[in-house]
Amino acid sequence: MRRILIMGATSAIAEATAREFAALGDALFLVGRNPDRLTAIADDLRLRGAAQAETWVMDACELGAYPALLDAATQRLGGLDTALIAHGTLTDQVAAQASSELMLAEFQTNALSHMVLCTELGNRFEAQGHGCIAVISSVAGDRGRQSNYVYGSAKAAVTAFTSGLRQRLHPKGVHVLTVKPGFVDTPMTAAFRKGPLWAMPATVAKAIVKAVQKGKPVLYTPWFWWPIMQIIKNVPEAIFRKLKL
């Protein structure tokens, strides 16, 4: 049985992943902003087999509140050994390139909050000598594109940060997993036209749980994003800057 903290627990990918953990009988500590939705999800997860499903209401941008959050999770679950960091917003690129205030706010939600939480968790897990931190980054972090570079560069920060953290903590028995989903059909992307590259949250969730179980370092999900991103990363800048991606 894992004792799992889930940040952004009302997001579609987090909820689908929590269902996979629940079916394995794990104990869950769910964090999100909306108390009604958190309670509904916790009730559901208990019926799906979760050993425990606790809820905690907080805004992920309150960076000072993380130590208290981790204390509460550790206390309520009787310990903590896994964390899934899944909160985030899909930045409106046009608005964020027009306002540095908005750009900073998006960085706060999609990068800084993850980095603060990873720091707190990393130190605690290092001290206890075991644990797993799974962080949802994005294929968008592999290369900045004009259509979403504010979101993409925040995710790039998360990708680089978790890569370094993984190197640092690997010898200490702590597993850090960077998850890079492609397009996922969730309420966050409701306005987008869907094509064959789109995946369902349940598919992504299954891949995440498997990667946690296997101690995998980086997960592209669905898998076909790995070759796609190898190509995108390797297009020379001289050509890339002329593209309309």
Q: What is the crossing angle of helices 113-128 and 66-77, to 10°?
A: 40
Q: Which residue has the tokens 């259509």?
A: 147
44 binds other proteins (CB under 8 A): yes
206 binds other proteins (CB under 8 A): no
Non-local CB neighbours of 126 within 8 Å, separated by 6+ positions: 169, 172, 174
* 57 CB neighbour count, 10 Å cutoff: 12
Least distance between other proteins and beta carbon 17 (Å) = 15
Name the strands in the sheet holding 27-32, side by side, starting at the edge strand that comes first in the sequence: 52-57, 27-32, 3-7, 82-85, 131-136, 174-181, 218-221
Q: Is the CB of 44 or the CB of 120 nearer to other proteins? A: 44
What are the Cα distances from residue 137, in Å, to 76, 78, 82, 102, 155? Answer: 28, 28, 17, 20, 5
Candidates 101, 129, 190, 236; binder of other proteins (CB under 8 A) is: 190
Least distance between other proteins and beta carbon 195 (Å) = 13
Q: How far from chain centre, in Å, is Cα 190?
A: 19
Nearest to 83 by CA among 12, 8, 187: 8
Candidates 14, 27, 31, 41; binder of other proteins (CB under 8 A) is: 41
Q: Which of residues 77-136 bind other proteins (CB under 8 A)?
A: none
Q: Is the CB of 65 or the CB of 188 nearer to other proteins? A: 188
Least distance between other proteins and beta carbon 51 (Å) = 16
Candidates 5, 9, 12, 157; binder of other proteins (CB under 8 A) is: 12
- Only one of the segments 39-47, 125-133, 150-158, 213-221 lies at the binding site for other proteins (rule: CB under 8 A); that segment is 39-47
199 binds other proteins (CB under 8 A): no
151 carries an active-site annotation: yes
48 binds other proteins (CB under 8 A): yes
Query: Rounded to the nearest 10 degrees, how much is the dihedral formed by the CA atoms of 75, 77, 78, 82?
Result: -110
Q: Which positions lie near other proteins, rule CB under 8 A? A: 10, 12, 34, 36-37, 40-41, 43-44, 47-48, 187, 190
